[in-house]
């Protein structure tokens, strides 16, 4: 899932999978819940991620006036309405900063170009109000542990918590991260994120796939001191790290419900839990494994019912040998079956028409075939598309094809 945004930083980890080529066969016609048939009453997720890190989607650049930023934001909401989407997942805490007047962290530099400088308006508050006015849900997307896309703490504003608590921070892979192994860090990042939930009626709290960072060859994530202090009783460091992330997920879920009971909590993890060659319960894939490589036991979160929805990022084409969309969909459907967690699928619109991608992604119908295939599985309750800029650009008409084939009428998200 390589791109200049939330997945750009995982490029090295998944490029080997993404680079493999194959052709995808057409799948049978989907049930037309979107066209107002029987399935429409149950609702369907039709989402889009609106990324702010590195100004990927919005704002288009730093330093725009408040009026220009607001106008662009409303344009993205209107675009979602145009394509009969019903949910915008807005990145509001890209790098331990905020797109609202936070009590815990500085204003994000993606707004003004200067971290800590107020933009003269309230982006998240406006987004919630204007999304709801258009009949859209607004899911607030947070990255819990990423602090900066560089390794120089002096570049952070002086008041930044990472500068006040340098012992919380680990440099790794050219970036700075909060250490997930420190209980005080886990408490702080929850406080920082829940500040937004307390202030605004967001429809969901949304995490992406960044927990422990994706592996970087030749580098070690230095959490020795934290492991020495808190890792007793675990068989190894990996088990301790997974427990740290489990605690974050479980605690965040409880706190979201406590602060705003009507708000959901969803996570969009890397699309492969474990390969079947590693674990008999895993998928028929040959890919990076979230359980082992970023210490995210995504299957457990669903089976335990800790999260309200899961959006595995199935960013591969039908038939790809290393990670076949057609094999991962039934695997995730089985995981979700009987659980309280709703299953949506993350879709790689950004790959459609990209000449660097396999041949399947040069076919405008590939993405539509994904939705057709997924419709065979009643556990799949909808899709979220990465990302907003690609919805607008739509290089080869893949999104237009999805809208024409599957989004015939507007529908609400699943209740």
Greatest extent of the chain over all pairs of C-alpha atoms, in Å: 58
Residue 154 is assigned to a structural domain of this protein: no
Side-by-side strand order, sheet with 175-178: 146-148, 175-178, 169-172
Q: pTM of the entire structure?
A: 0.92
Residues constituting the chain? 415
4: pLDDT confidence band, cut at 50, 70 and 90?
very low
Taking the C-alpha atoms of residue 180 and residue 245, their distance in angstroms, rounded to an integer, is: 7
| Tokens representing residue 200 in the block | 């605004």
Task: Identify the CA nearest to 9 among candidates 175, 222, 224.
Answer: 175
CATH number at 267 reads 3.20.20.80
Residue 173 is assigned to a structural domain of this protein: no
* Total tally of structural domains belonging to the chain: 1
Residue 160 is assigned to a structural domain of this protein: no
pLDDT per position as a tens digit, 221-247: 999 999 999 999 999 999 999 999 999
Question: What local confidence, expressed as pLDDT, does residue 1 receive?
Answer: 38
Residue 414 is assigned to a structural domain of this protein: no
Residue 349 is assigned to a structural domain of this protein: yes
| Mean pLDDT on 5-34 | 36
Residue 195 is assigned to a structural domain of this protein: yes
Question: What local confidence, expressed as pLDDT, does residue 28 receive?
Answer: 32
Check: CB of residue 47 under 8 Å from CB of residue 88: yes
Question: What local confidence, expressed as pLDDT, does residue 184 receive?
Answer: 98
Question: What local confidence, expressed as pLDDT, does residue 342 receive?
Answer: 98
In order, the DSSP letters of 110-166 are HHHSSTT---SS-HHHHHHHHHHHTT-EEEEEE-SSEEESSS-GGGS-TT-HHHH-G
Residue 413 is assigned to a structural domain of this protein: no
Residue 150 is assigned to a structural domain of this protein: no
Positions of E strands within 216-368: 264-267, 309-310, 342-347
For the CA atoms of the chain, what is the radius of gyration?
20
Domain housing 386: 8-144+181-406
Question: What local confidence, expressed as pLDDT, does residue 19 receive?
Answer: 35
315: pLDDT confidence band, cut at 50, 70 and 90?
very high
pLDDT per position as a tens digit, 87-103: 999 999 999 999 999 99
pLDDT per position as a tens digit, 132-167: 999 999 999 999 999 999 999 999 999 999 999 999
91 φ, ψ to 5°? -75, 110
pLDDT per position as a tens digit, 110-130: 999 999 999 999 999 999 999
Question: What local confidence, expressed as pLDDT, does residue 32 receive?
Answer: 37
């Amino acid at each position: 899932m390589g791109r200049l945004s939330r997945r750009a930083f995982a490029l090295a980890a998944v490029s080997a999978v993404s680079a493999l080529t194959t052709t995808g066969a057409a799948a049978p016609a989907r049930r037309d819940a979107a066209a107002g048939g029987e399935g429409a009453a149950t609702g369907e997720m039709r989402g889009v991620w609106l990324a702010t890190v590195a100004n990927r989607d919005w704002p288009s650049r730093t330093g725009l006036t408040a009026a220009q930023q607001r106008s662009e934001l409303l344009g993205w909401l209107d675009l979602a309405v145009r394509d009969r989407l019903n949910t915008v997942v807005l990145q509001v805490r890209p790098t331990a900063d905020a797109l609202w007047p936070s009590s815990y962290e500085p204003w994000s530099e993606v707004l003004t170009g200067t971290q800590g400088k107020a933009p003269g308006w309230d982006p998240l508050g406006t987004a919630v109000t204007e999304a709801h006015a258009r009949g859209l849900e607004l899911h607030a997307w947070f990255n819990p542990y990423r602090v900066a896309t560089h390794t120089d703490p002096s570049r952070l504003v002086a008041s930044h918590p990472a500068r006040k608590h340098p012992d919380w921070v680990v440099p790794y892979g050219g970036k700075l991260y909060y250490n997930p192994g420190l209980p005080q860090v886990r408490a702080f990042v929850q406080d920082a994120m829940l500040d937004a939930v307390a202030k605004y009626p967001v429809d969901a709290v949304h995490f992406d796939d960044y927990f422990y960072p994706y592996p970087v060859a030749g580098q070690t994530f230095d959490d020795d001191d934290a492991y020495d202090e808190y890792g007793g009783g675990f068989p190894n460091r990996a088990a301790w790290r997974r427990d740290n992330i489990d605690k974050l997920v479980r605690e965040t879920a409880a706190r979201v419900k406590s602060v705003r009971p009507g708000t959901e909590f969803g996570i969009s993890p890397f699309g492969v839990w474990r390969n079947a060659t590693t674990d008999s319960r895993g998928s028929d894939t040959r890919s990076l494994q979230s359980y082992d490589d970023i210490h995210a036991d995504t299957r457990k979160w669903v089976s335990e019912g800790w999260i309200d929805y899961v959006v595995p990022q199935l960013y591969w084409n039908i038939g790809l040998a290393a990670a076949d969309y057609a094999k991962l969909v039934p695997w995730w459907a089985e995981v979700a079956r009987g659980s309280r967690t709703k299953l949506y699928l993350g879709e790689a619109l950004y790959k459609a028409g990209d000449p660097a991608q396999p041949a399947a992604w040069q076919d405008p119908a590939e993405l539509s075939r994904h939705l057709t295939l997924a419709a065979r599985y009643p556990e799949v309750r909808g899709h979220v598309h990465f990302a907003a800029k690609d919805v607008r650009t739509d290089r080869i008409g893949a999104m237009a094809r999805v809208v024409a084939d599957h989004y015939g009428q507007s529908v609400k998200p699943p209740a």
